[in-house]
Amino acid sequence: MLLAMINRSKYSGKGSRVALVRAMRALRGKVHFMLQEGRLAVPPGLDALPAMLDRFIVPVPYDEAGHSGKSWHPKVCIARYRPADPGLIKQGEPPYHWRLWLGSRNFTKDDSWDLALFLSSAVKGGSTVPGVREVTSRLAHKAAQSAAWAPLLDELDGVTWDVPRGVEIKGIKLHLQPDDSRRLPALPASPKSVLAVAPFLDVTSLKKLAESTGNADRSLVSIRPSLEDVARTTSKTLETFTNLYELAPVDEDALDIEDADSPGHDQDPEARGLHAKFLWARYEKTDVLYLGSPNLTARGWERNAEIHAHLEIKRGSPAATALAEGFEAFRQRCHRVEPGSLSKGPKPKTSEDVLEDMRKQLAATLALKQKFRADKAVLVVTHTPVVLKHGARMKIGRMSDARIPWPQAASEVILPVVEIEKESELLHIELTLQGNSLHWLQSAPFEGGLPDARDDALATSYLGLSGLLDLFADELELHGLPEVDREPWDHLPSEKDRQRGKSRMLGFSVESVLAAWRRAGKAGPEVIQRATKVLDLAAAYDGASTADRAAVRQLKSLLKSWSAVQSALGGSQA
- For residue 458, the tally of other CB atoms under 10 A from its CB is 22
Domain boundaries, the chain: 2-169, 178-341, 351-443, 452-568
Q: What is the pLDDT, as a whole number, of residue 126?
A: 94
Cβ–Cβ under 8 Å, residues 483 and 76 = no
DSSP summary character for residue 300 = I
Integer Cα distance of 288 and 281 in angstroms = 5
User: Across-strand partners of 274?
Assistant: 113
Cβ within 8 Å of residue 265, ≥6 positions away? 111, 258
The stretches in the chain having pLDDT less than 50 are 253-271, 502-504, 572-574
Tell me how far apart the terminal alpha carbons of the chain are, to the nearest angstrom: 32
Q: What is the pLDDT, as a whole number, of residue 506?
A: 56
Q: What is the pLDDT, as a whole number, of residue 326?
A: 96
CATH of domain 351-443: 2.60.40
Q: What is the pLDDT, as a whole number, of residue 90?
A: 76
- Report the chain's C-alpha Rg in angstroms: 27
User: Across-strand partners of 312?
Assistant: 168, 288
Q: Choose among 72, 286, 279: nearest CA to 168.
A: 286
Q: What is the pLDDT of residues 331-340, one digit of tens each?
A: 999 999 999 9
Which amino acid, one-letter code, is at 331?
Answer: R
Q: What is the pLDDT, as a whole number, of residue 507?
A: 60
Q: What is the pLDDT, as a whole number, of residue 574?
A: 40
pTM above 0.85, yes or no: yes
| Domain with residues 178-341, CATH architecture | 2-Layer Sandwich (3.30)
Instruction: For residue 561, count CB atoms less than 10 angstroms from its CB and return exposed for 0-12, middle for 13-18, buried for 19 or more.
Output: middle
Instruction: For residue 484, count CB atoms less than 10 angstroms from its CB and return exposed for 0-12, middle for 13-18, buried for 19 or more.
Output: buried
Integer Cα distance of 414 and 418 in angstroms = 12
Instruction: For residue 481, count CB atoms less than 10 angstroms from its CB and return exposed for 0-12, middle for 13-18, buried for 19 or more.
Output: middle
Cβ–Cβ under 8 Å, residues 142 and 32 = no
Which amino acid, one-letter code, is at 157?
Answer: D
Instruction: For residue 225, count CB atoms less than 10 angstroms from its CB and return exposed for 0-12, middle for 13-18, buried for 19 or more.
Output: middle
> Would you give the distance in Å from CA 207 to the centre of its chain?
34
Cβ within 8 Å of residue 318, ≥6 positions away? 164, 165, 166
Cβ within 8 Å of residue 429, ≥6 positions away? 362, 366, 394, 395, 396, 439, 440, 441, 442
What are the C-alpha distances in Å from 555 to residues 387, 413, 481, 567? 54, 43, 19, 19
Integer Cα distance of 209 and 12 in angstroms = 40
Cβ–Cβ under 8 Å, residues 486 and 14 = no
Cβ–Cβ under 8 Å, residues 121 and 98 = yes
Cβ–Cβ under 8 Å, residues 173 and 131 = yes
Integer Cα distance of 539 and 54 in angstroms = 27
Integer Cα distance of 56 and 48 in angstroms = 17
